Structure 1
Amino acid sequence: MRTMTTLEQLSKSVRHLAETVAHSFESMSLVDLNYKPAPNSWSMLQCLEHLNRYSRYYNPALANAIAQHTGEQAHLGSISYSWLGKKSVEMVRPQNTKKHKTVKHMNPNNSQLNRATVGEFLQHQQELLQLIYDARKVDLNKKAVPVEFFKLLKLRIGEALEFVVLHQERHVQQALRVKQQLAQQAAA
């Protein structure tokens, strides 16, 4: 896929995620936002907190990678994927229904969360939109973004951006399913 098309699609996805979260969760009660369908499943806020934890790492890592490579020749061809990038993107793709265990410090289970979690998620989306915009000036195939759980491994800037957005789509969909389960329980 051409770089600009990919970045435009990622921007569109991030704007859609922000609108979905604002529309779906901002007006809900704190009790409902913390509803868990089962003891070991996540609430809507826990899904968003999981994404916030990833954004706290990946937004600055992406900003650093983009800043380091701004001014170099921007690559306007296709984004190419490393084996790690392909595996990472496929693992978090929303269509992949296989459950994956998250690393302990990224697991929000048993966290005490409030409305600030939604606001933080929306703030991260604004930061991510700016990062995607800034990424137009760099070679997205530069291996420059350390993987959160093993920093010796690096993702390419383009594949890291795609990983972050797809990961967010996956867990926002999960939060929406929890909301639907809450509605079904209330209707029963």
Structure 2
Amino acid sequence: MITLEQLEQMVSGQYQTIVSEISSLDNSLLNYKSAPESWSILECLEHLNRYSRYYNPALAKAITKHTSNNSAPGISYSWLGKKSLEMVRPQNGKKHKTVKHMNPANSQLSTATITEFLEHLQDLENLLRSAKTANLNKKVIPVEFFKLLKMRIGETLEFIVTHQERHLQQALRVKQEAVLVTS
């Protein structure tokens, strides 16, 4: 079972990865695509920005509303949470089609995408800190693409961090390929 502290450490590591590995790249590397249907580094980050624009405010509202002195000691999982996490784990090499409005393919993006993502990471770190007093097992976060389904606060936090890890690894693979091709 993962803890909020471990998720915080992962988000901190993701922030450092962006700062050290991606933020200083030039536009040609940031926009490099190995094939027309693949994503560039900026498209990977924009995809995550789109998720953060939805989930960060939903989590903030839920955490504020469901704070208590006797919060659950850890994250427990619903069938939906387990399924969602399994799908986005970086070790799961299977590609998944993203819903259309979350697909940034062929977007006009700039380094503002990186700046926005770093801001979302800072927001997420704050959410993880404030979640320490929340009922993590409260099922109140509507799933972005089908709002009738709800996930628990804790599993949603883990989903967001894990999903980010998956696409950051993808962005780093794109960077590696771009550097080889352009050098």
Name the TM-score class by shorter chain.
over 0.9
Partner of 2:170: 174
Q: Deviation per CA, 1:119-178, whole angstroms, max 9, x where unpaired?
A: 000000000000000000011111011100011110001100000000000000000000
CA contact (8 A) 1:72 1:139 kept: no
Q: For residues 99 and 85 of structure 2, what CA distance do their matches in structure 1 show?
A: 17
Count of aligned positions: 183
Question: In the alignment, what sits opposite 2:50?
Answer: 53
Q: Which runs of no fewer than 5 residues in structure 1 stay unpaired?
A: none
Q: Which one of the candidate residues 98, 102, 106 is aligned to 1:106? A: 102
**In structure 2, the residue corresponding to 1:131 is in which secondary structure?**
helix
| Identical residues among aligned pairs (%) | 63
Mapped partners of 1:184, 1:29: distance in 2: 14
Matched with 1:143 is 139
1:11-62 CA-to-partner distances (Å, cap 9, x unmatched) read: 0000000100111111111121001111100000000000000000000010
CA distance in 1, matches of 2:56, 2:154: 13
Distance 2:182 2:31 in 1: 15
The 5 Å alignment of 1:65-144 reads 65-71=62-68, 73-76=70-73, 78-144=74-140
Q: Which moved more, 1:171-180 or 1:67-76?
A: 67-76
What 5-or-longer segments of structure 2 have no aligned partner?
none
TM-score by length of 1: 0.95
Structure 1 residue 72 displacement after superposition: 5.7
Q: Secondary structure at the match of 2:3?
A: helix
Residue 70 of structure 1 and its aligned partner are, at CA, apart by 1.4
Query: In 2, are the aligned partners of 1:42 and 1:109 still within 8 Å (CA)?
Result: yes
3-state SS of 2:44 partner:
helix
TM-score by length of 2: 0.97
RMSD over equivalenced CA pairs, Å: 1.0
Instruction: Give the 3-state SS of the residue equivalent to 1:59 in structure 2.
Output: helix
